[in-house]
C-alpha cells in the first residue's frame, strides 16, 4: 500500500439491488472511514421504504452521510449535493486518507468524481413555464423543444425523463445557448484520487433480485408509506419509481397487482439505464456481485 498522504475516494457503483450498500459498509469498516451516499432519493426523510434506505443495523455498522437529511418539501439539486458532499469530504480528509462514495444515481456520482459543469443561473419563471407546457402538452413537447434548441444534447439525454429534459431546456432558454455548450468546459478540481468499484450480475439474476426487493418493500409497508405521501404526489422528489405506480393505484387508474408489476418492470428498466450510464465510467473496475470481499479489498489496496 502506498504510504503517501494522498486522499482516496473509493466509489461503489452499479444498478439497484446489486449489493452496493453492503459492500460499501465492508470497505468502510476495512479502512475505518465514513460513507457518502449518492442516492438522490435516499436523501429524503419521508421516503425510507421505497428507496431502500439502509437499515438501522447498516447505518450503525459504518458512519453514513446524506441519508434522510432533507424533506421532500425542500428543493435539493445535484449542484447542492456537489457543494455539500465536497465540503464534507474535505472535513473527513482532515483526519482520514479514505472515504467511500456509494449510490445508484449516476449524475450525482459524476458530480463528486469529476465536478459539476458550470451552468448559468436561470430565472425561475423559465422553469415554471416549461412545467406548465409539460402538464398541458406532455413529454413530447419537451422532446420537440430540446431537439430544436439543442440537437446535440437531444441525442444523449434520457428522453423519457421530463426532469432532465426541462433542466436542459431551461438552460437553453435562459442563456440563449445550447445546454451542450456548457458541458465539459469548467470542472472543479478534486483533491482526492478516485478508486471506482463496479458491481454487476447477469441480467436475469439482476432482475430476479429487483423483483424480490420490491416484494420485500411491500411487506415492509411500501403501500402505507406511499399513501401518506399521496397528497403531495406532484412534488419533484415523488416522481420516483415505486411511488408513481402506487399513486396511479390510489387514483383508480391501476389495480394493486398491476401497480406492483409496474413497479418491478419500471425498476428493471431503471437498472438497465443505470448500467448503461455506469459502464461509461472511466477507470471503473467491474466485479461480479458475488466476488469475495478479500479480492475487492486487494484490488483497492493495489490502487492506493
- The CATH number of whichever domain residue 154 belongs to comes to 1.10.20.140
The response to whether 16 counts as a known ligand-binding position is: yes
* Together in a domain, 97 and 210: yes
pLDDT digits (tens, 9 = 90+) for 226-268: 999 999 998 888 989 999 999 999 999 999 999 999 999 999 9
Question: Cβ-count burial of 80 within 10 angstroms (0-12 exposed, 13-18 middle, 19+ buried)?
Answer: middle
Residue 186 has pLDDT above 80, yes or no: no
Give the model's pLDDT for residue 183: 78
* C-alpha cell at position 183: 458541458
Exposure string of 48-69, with b = 16+ CB inside 10 Å and e = fewer, is bbbbbbbeeebbebbebbbbbe
Angle between helices 256-278 and 106-114 (to 10 degrees): 30
In a domain, residue 130? The reply is yes
**Same-domain check for residues 198 and 177:** no
15 known ligand binder: yes
Question: What are the two backbone dihedrals, phi and then psi, of residue 45, each rounded to the nearest 5 degrees?
Answer: -60, -40
Domain count, the chain: 2
Residues 197 and 282 in one domain: yes
Find how far residue 241's CA is from the centre of its chain.
12
Express each pLDDT in 260-286 by its tens digit: 999 999 999 999 999 999 999 999 999
Q: Are residues 112 and 241 in the same domain?
A: yes
19 is in an annotated binding site: yes
Q: Per-residue confidence at 57, pLDDT binned at 50, 70, 90?
A: very high
Is residue 221 in some structural domain? yes
Structural domain includes residue 15: yes
pLDDT tens string 82-109: 999 999 999 999 999 999 999 999 989 9
C-alpha grid cell, residue 234: 406532484
Domain presence at residue 1: no
18 marked as part of a ligand binding site? yes
Residue at 57 is within a domain: yes
Asked if residue 55 and residue 151 are part of one domain, the reply reads no
Residue 187 has a pLDDT of 63
Q: Which domain holds residue 296?
A: 7-116+187-303
At 73, is the secondary structure helix, strand, or coil? Answer: coil
pLDDT at position 226: 98
User: Residue 202, annotated ligand binder?
Assistant: no
> What residues contact 188, with CB distance under 8 A and at least 6 apart?
82, 86, 115, 116
Interval 102-155: pLDDT, tens = 999 998 999 999 886 677 777 778 888 898 899 889 999 999 999 999 999 999
Judge whether 86 lies within some domain.
yes
| Residue 194 labelled as part of a binding site | no
Residues 40 and 104 in one domain: yes
2 is a domain residue: no
Determine whether the annotation assigns residue 14 to a binding site: yes
Both 178 and 192 in one domain: the answer is no
User: With bands split at pLDDT 50, 70 and 90, how would you rate the model's confidence at 2?
Assistant: very low
Looking at the domain assignment, is residue 240 inside a domain? yes
What pLDDT, on the 0 to 100 scale, is given for residue 159? 86
**Residue 198 forms beta bridges with which residues?**
13, 286
Q: How many CB atoms lie within 10 A of CB 87?
A: 10
193 is in an annotated binding site: no
Strand partners, 200: 288
What is the CATH number for 279?
A: 3.40.50.300
Q: Are residues 142 and 26 in the same domain?
A: no
Percent of the chain whose predicted confidence (pLDDT) is above 70? 96
Amino acid at each position: 500500500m502506498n504510504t503517501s498522504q494522498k486522499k482516496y475516494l473509493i466509489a461503489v457503483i452499479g444498478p439497484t439491488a446489486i449489493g452496493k450498500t453492503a459492500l460499501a459498509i465492508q470497505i468502510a469498516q476495512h479502512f475505518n472511514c465514513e460513507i457518502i451516499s449518492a442516492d438522490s432519493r435516499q436523501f429524503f426523510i419521508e421516503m425510507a421504504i421505497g428507496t431502500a434506505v439502509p437499515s438501522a443495523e447498516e447505518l450503525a455498522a459504518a458512519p453514513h452521510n446524506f441519508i434522510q437529511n432533507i424533506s421532500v418539501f425542500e428543493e435539493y439539486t445535484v449542484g447542492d449535493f456537489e457543494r455539500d458532499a465536497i465540503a464534507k469530504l474535505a472535513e473527513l480528509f482532515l483526519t482520514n486518507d479514505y472515504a467511500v462514495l456509494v449510490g445508484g444515481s449516476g449524475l450525482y456520482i459524476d458530480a463528486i468524481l469529476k465536478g459539476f459543469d458550470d451552468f448559468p443561473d436561470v430565472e425561475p419563471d423559465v422553469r415554471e413555464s416549461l412545467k406548465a407546457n409539460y402538464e398541458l402538452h406532455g413529454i413530447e413537447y419537451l422532446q420537440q423543444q430540446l431537439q430544436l434548441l439543442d440537437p446535440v444534447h437531444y441525442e444523449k439525454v434520457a428522453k423519457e425523463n421530463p426532469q432532465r429534459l426541462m433542466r436542459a431546456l431551461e438552460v437553453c432558454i435562459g442563456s440563449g445557448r445550447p445546454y451542450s455548450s456548457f458541458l465539459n468546459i469548467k470542472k472543479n478540481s478534486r483533491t482526492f484520487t478516485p478508486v471506482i468499484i463496479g458491481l454487476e450480475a447477469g441480467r436475469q439474476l439482476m432482475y430476479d433480485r429487483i423483483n424480490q426487493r420490491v416484494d420485500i418493500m411491500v411487506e415492509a409497508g411500501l403501500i402505507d408509506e406511499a399513501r401518506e405521501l399521496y397528497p403531495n404526489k406532484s412534488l419533484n422528489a415523488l416522481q420516483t419509481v415505486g411511488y408513481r405506480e402506487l399513486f396511479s393505484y390510489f387514483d383508480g387508474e391501476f389495480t394493486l397487482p398491476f401497480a406492483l408489476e409496474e413497479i418491478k418492470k419500471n425498476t428493471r428498466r431503471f437498472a438497465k439505464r443505470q448500467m448503461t450510464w455506469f459502464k461509461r465510467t472511466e477507470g471503473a473496475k467491474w466485479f461480479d456481485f458475488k466476488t469475495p470481499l478479500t479480492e475487492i479489498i486487494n484490488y483497492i489496496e493495489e490502487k492506493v
